[in-house]
Structure 1
């Protein structure tokens, strides 16, 4: 919210300078981002009247002017501006004036002709660019000889306040002034006379509100007979410009002015362009509207619109339509001023690629009692400046849908506990009265009724916060916090996520944090079978789906790095994925995941070895490292799978107790272009709960008896996963300690459709030396089980 300091001081004028005012607002929760003067520093610049002008005798581009500056004699000034002409009112820097940049004006001769001053353009006196190539022209009624700083009210500053979403009541000078009054206790007054402007003639426009829940209050009236050529006053233009708005035309400027002054959006339609009844209704799918910025939009069902018999003429609470816009030829208007429910407007502007001051306010909430005051203020300004006649105000109000004011109890004890100081009761009551609350003293505190514009007041802590910020956080005692801190014990059976992250970092990975909402097209491409949640109010069209996998963010990070000539990328992320579930209160089941992706060389190139690209087994080794840290490697099986995101020949499911807890594999080649990546990308994703529970190691003595090893080479079908052979070999035995693969062979001596898998069996007893007979018996049993289970033959 940007506004003029002088404008604010018409409402309330504390004894603070601009910087003190900014600091007080910031400490009260209304953070001031900038305090800027509205013009550069200059002096001795006055309003001047160009009486006459002649061509310079020795310069084609210079003119010799005689200027009236309010003194007894005319002043001769040589001027090179293209737009100088007799009869103009301009800004004149007198001899002795100092302009921005410490530029001093002295008597001079230009090509032999004396010049006693300088006629100035906007930029030369530090004003915003007025778009004129030449002098900054003043209105014809500007008083000659008056200091330009006083005439243009340039001893002013512009304050820019960054409002939090809950303080929509401060999206106006009125709202800011109420808070300044509460903070400073300076008097507060409305700087204009508020009166009922309704005329005696009925409103000629019929109004129908078909959606009273979305629009519980709709006011409208007709203004006719005003001067369409009337210009916006200088003071109004200045306040608009200092609030960041560009003056356009009188009607538009008045609606923008009241928007900034009181916080109420409103709209004016050209009466001659309206057809039939003005309706507040929901749009029908496929209806079209050309907005004021000449953008054609196709409306969706559920969008609140203003329409007449010809169709939609405005997007309610967002922007008007071009077909009924007010122009310089408009001689009669239909003024509307309404209260729209925030939920009826939220997200609609963004959904159509629009963003307006009106939608920003209606989305956050507008005082439901404000439309009458704001409409009367706008009508008063219009009649004062351009004349005309006003009809009766047609009001459509649905009391059952109007927001109710909140009544909240504040206990004295709560105030002491939360603020750490006993604020005197009279101070508490004075603060709430200045904030506009109705205060009733009760036994243990106060019963407070919030004003209609403080719709953010809901619970007792809201009231505590109000006292804290107005009383002043700097005034609260600096007492040490007596809060015992008990560190949570980490059971030995619980793995720390940070330890897993550190392991990945030590292995060359970099952690990334990506958005939880992703592009719907990529979501479907990577996980077409998983139900996902669509956001009703997405940041943008490519961030509308809640992710069901961490892969989109990882692939986006890889694409970002590859686009910047980074060929070797290793990234990981821990975060939530969201599966649509209507049974949950949030509409989704949230599952913590850990995922990673690699592409490019397995290691940085070196002089001593040839670089190679990372493959499936490099990533599988990193996954096994994480599983080994959690003592879960023996419980996790890697089983071949078909995953839409992964290459069908290089992908596996991570299975634990018969359930899939993760996947690993190569990104499907058909998805490279969709994801914007290149090369061979390998990825894994695993549920965090599969890694976070560890088996607690049990101490066991080392056997002092010798270990026996037996090497067995099995011939099996080429397609048989080695894991199945290992499962078959791991028979129950008190002496079988471990089974390791030491060779896989294909070639001469082995049938083309078969392979040889060589295993080492490690046998040992804890309390005695093994006998040959029992070793041979176990080997025979293993051979028989392997043959029966997977048809493995001893080579």
Structure 2
């Protein structure tokens, strides 16, 4: 919100200079981004009247002018501006004047002709560029000889406040003035007479509000007989320019002026271009509208529009349509001033690639009691400047849909406990009176009624915050905060997530944190079978879907690094994924996940060995490290899977107790281009609850009897997962301690569709030495089990 300091001081005038005012606003939560003068520093520049002009005798591009500056004699000034003409009122820098850039004006001779001053353009005196190639012309009624700084009110500052979304009430000079008054106690004065402008003639345009929930208040009236050629007054143009808006035409300037002054958006239609009743309705799917900026948009049926019998003529609360716009030929206008519910406007401007001052305010919330005041103010300005007649105001009001002011109980003890200082009851009541709250004293505190423009007031702590910022955060005591801290005990059966992260970092990974919102196209590509949640008001089009996997963010980070010539990337992320669930009150089931991805060489290249790119088993080893830390490796099975995100031949599910708790594998080759990465990327994702529950180690007695080892090589089908063979070999026995793979062979002596898997069996009894007979019996049992389960033959 950008505004003129002088404009604000008409509402409230504290005894602070501009910098002090900016500091106090910032301390009160209205952060000031910038304070800049509206013009450069200059002195001794006055209003001059060009009385006569002659061509310079020795220069074709120079003119010799005689200028009246309010002194007894005319001042001769040689001027090279293209637009200088007799009769003009101009900015005249006298001899001795100092212009921006420490440029001093002295007596001079230009091609032999004396010149006693300088006629100035806008930029030469530090004003914004007015687009004129030459002198900055002043109105005809400008007083000759008057200091230009005084005449143009240039001893002013433009203040730019960066408002947080909850402070929609401060998107106006009136709103800022309310807060300044509360902070300073300087008093608040409305600098114009508020009066009813409605006439007695009925409004000739019928209003039909079909969506009262979205538009609970709609006011409209006709204005006829005004001077369509009337110009916007200089004082209004100045305030608009100093607030960052460009003056356009009288009706547009008045609506923009009231928008900045009071915070109420409004719109004017050329009533002669209206066809039938003005309707407030939802758009029809595919309906077209050409906006004021000549952009054609195709509307969807969730968009609120203003329409007539010809179709949509404006995007409600956002922008008007070109077909009913006011022009220099307009002779009658239909003024609208409405209150739109924030949820009816939120996200619509972004959806159609628009961003307007109106949508910015309606999305955050506009005072529902403001339209009547704002419409009367706009009509008053129009009639004062251009004359005309106003019809009666047609008001369509749905009282049950207008938000009721919040009723909040504030306890004196809460104020003291939370702020750490005893604020007196008189101070508290004075603060909220200045802020416009209704106050009723009750036992131990107050019952507060929030003003209609404070949508952010909902709970007691909101009121405490108001006291803190108006009382002054700098006035709060700097006492150390004492709070009891109870450290949570970490059960032995619980693994710390930080320990898992540390293990990954020690293995060369870097942690990343990515958005929970991803591009819908990528979400569908990488997890087409998982239901996902779409945001109603996304940050941008490529961040509209809630992620169902951590892979999109990881792959985006990999692509970012690869685009910056980082060939070896190892990343991990911990965070929530969201599965659509209409049965849940939030609309989604949230599951904590831990995921990682690697691409490029296993290690940095060295002189002693050839670099090798990471493969599936490198990543599997890192995942197994995490499982070992939680003592879960023995309970997790890696089973081949067909996940759409992963290569069908290099992917596996992590299964625990028959349920999938994670996946691992190579990114599917068809998704490499879609995800913007290059090379062979390997990824894993595991549910955190599968890693954070530890198996508690239990001590076992070490056998003192010798261990027996048997090596068996089985011939099995080439396609058989080795895990199935291990399952078959691990028969129940009190002497079978472990089964380990030590070789897998394919080649000579083995059929092409088969492979040899060699296993080492370790046998040992706790209490005695094993006998050959029981060892051979167990081996025979294992051979039979392998034969019957997976058709394995002893090699």
> Which TM-score applies when normalising by structure 2?
0.98
CA positional deviation for 1:788: 2.0
Q: For residues 227 and 133 of structure 1, what CA distance do their matches in structure 2 show?
A: 30
SS at match of 1:221: strand
User: Is 1:355 paired with 2:355?
Assistant: yes
SS at match of 1:182: helix
Q: Which consecutive residues of structure 2, in runs of 5 or more, have no partner in the other structure?
A: none
Q: For residues 79 and 603 of structure 1, what CA distance do their matches in structure 2 show?
A: 74
Q: Which residue of 2 aligns with 1:33?
A: 33
User: Is 1:745 paired with 2:719?
Assistant: no
Q: For residues 508 and 83 of structure 1, what CA distance do their matches in structure 2 show?
A: 71
Q: For residues 762 and 156 of structure 1, what CA distance do their matches in structure 2 show?
A: 91
Residues 339-387 of structure 1: per-residue CA shift (max 9 Å, x gap): 1111111111112111111111111111111111100110111111111
Q: Which residue of 2 aligns with 1:429?
A: 429
Q: Bigger CA drift: 564-573 or 9-18? A: 564-573
Q: For residues 708 and 146 of structure 2, what CA distance do their matches in structure 1 show?
A: 110
SS at match of 2:672: helix
CA positional deviation for 1:784: 2.0
Q: Which residue of 1 aligns with 2:375?
A: 375
Q: Which residue of 2 aligns with 1:51?
A: 51
User: Is 1:144 paired with 2:144?
Assistant: yes
From the superposition, tell whether residues 451 and 788 of structure 1 become closer, same or farther in structure 2 (CA, over 3 Å): same
Q: Which residue of 1 aligns with 2:177?
A: 177
Residues 209-249 of structure 1: per-residue CA shift (max 9 Å, x gap): 11112111111111111111111111111111111111111
CA positional deviation for 1:702: 4.3
Q: Which residue of 1 aligns with 2:107?
A: 107
Q: Which residue of 2 aligns with 1:342?
A: 342
Q: Bigger CA drift: 690-699 or 183-192? A: 690-699
SS at match of 1:627: helix
Q: Bigger CA drift: 355-364 or 778-787? A: 778-787
Q: For residues 542 and 445 of structure 2, what CA distance do their matches in structure 1 show?
A: 51
Q: Bigger CA drift: 597-606 or 66-75? A: 597-606
CA positional deviation for 1:766: 3.9
Q: Which residue of 2 aligns with 1:658?
A: 658
Q: For residues 318 and 147 of structure 2, what CA distance do their matches in structure 1 show?
A: 42
CA positional deviation for 1:96: 1.1
User: Is 1:153 paired with 2:153?
Assistant: yes
Q: For residues 495 and 193 of structure 1, what CA distance do their matches in structure 2 show?
A: 70
CA positional deviation for 1:735: 2.8
Residues 525-560 of structure 1: per-residue CA shift (max 9 Å, x gap): 111111111111112222111111111111111222
Q: Which residue of 2 aligns with 1:74?
A: 74
Q: Bigger CA drift: 714-723 or 501-510? A: 501-510
Q: Bigger CA drift: 172-181 or 122-131? A: 122-131
CA positional deviation for 1:480: 2.3
Spell out the pairing of 1:381-396 with structure 2 (5 A cutoff): 381-396=381-396
Q: For residues 138 and 708 of structure 2, what CA distance do their matches in structure 1 show?
A: 105
> Which TM-score applies when normalising by structure 1?
0.98
Q: Bigger CA drift: 366-375 or 692-701? A: 692-701
Q: Which residue of 2 aligns with 1:321?
A: 321
SS at match of 2:674: helix
CA positional deviation for 1:699: 3.2
CA positional deviation for 1:253: 0.6
SS at match of 2:142: coil
Q: Which residue of 1 aligns with 2:594?
A: 594
CA positional deviation for 1:605: 1.7
Residues 654-673 of structure 1: per-residue CA shift (max 9 Å, x gap): 10110001111111111122
SS at match of 2:529: coil
Residues 623-653 of structure 1: per-residue CA shift (max 9 Å, x gap): 1111111111111110001111111111111
Q: Which residue of 2 aligns with 1:712?
A: 712
Q: Which residue of 2 aligns with 1:721?
A: 721
Q: For residues 264 and 138 of structure 1, what CA distance do their matches in structure 2 show?
A: 32
CA positional deviation for 1:280: 1.0
Q: Which consecutive residues of structure 1, in runs of 5 or more, have no partner in the other structure?
A: none
Q: For residues 181 and 665 of structure 1, what CA distance do their matches in structure 2 show?
A: 64
Q: Bigger CA drift: 1-10 or 591-600? A: 591-600
Q: Which residue of 2 aligns with 1:244?
A: 244
User: Is 1:330 paired with 2:293?
Assistant: no
CA RMSD, Structure 1 to Structure 2 (Å) = 1.4
Q: Which residue of 1 aligns with 2:547?
A: 547
Q: Which residue of 2 aligns with 1:698?
A: 698
Q: Which residue of 1 aligns with 2:503?
A: 503
Q: Which residue of 1 aligns with 2:94?
A: 94
Q: Which residue of 2 aligns with 1:195?
A: 195
Q: Which residue of 1 aligns with 2:764?
A: 764
Spell out the pairing of 1:465-484 with structure 2 (5 A cutoff): 465-484=465-484
CA positional deviation for 1:701: 4.9
Q: Which residue of 1 aligns with 2:130?
A: 130
Q: How many positions carry a matched residue from both structures?
A: 795
Q: For residues 140 and 765 of structure 1, what CA distance do their matches in structure 2 show?
A: 114
Q: For residues 767 and 9 of structure 2, what CA distance do their matches in structure 1 show?
A: 94
CA positional deviation for 1:704: 4.0
CA positional deviation for 1:706: 3.4
Q: Which residue of 2 aligns with 1:633?
A: 633
Q: For residues 563 and 619 of structure 2, what CA distance do their matches in structure 1 show?
A: 23
Q: Which residue of 2 aligns with 1:611?
A: 611
SS at match of 1:716: strand
Q: For residues 612 and 61 of structure 1, what CA distance do their matches in structure 2 show?
A: 76
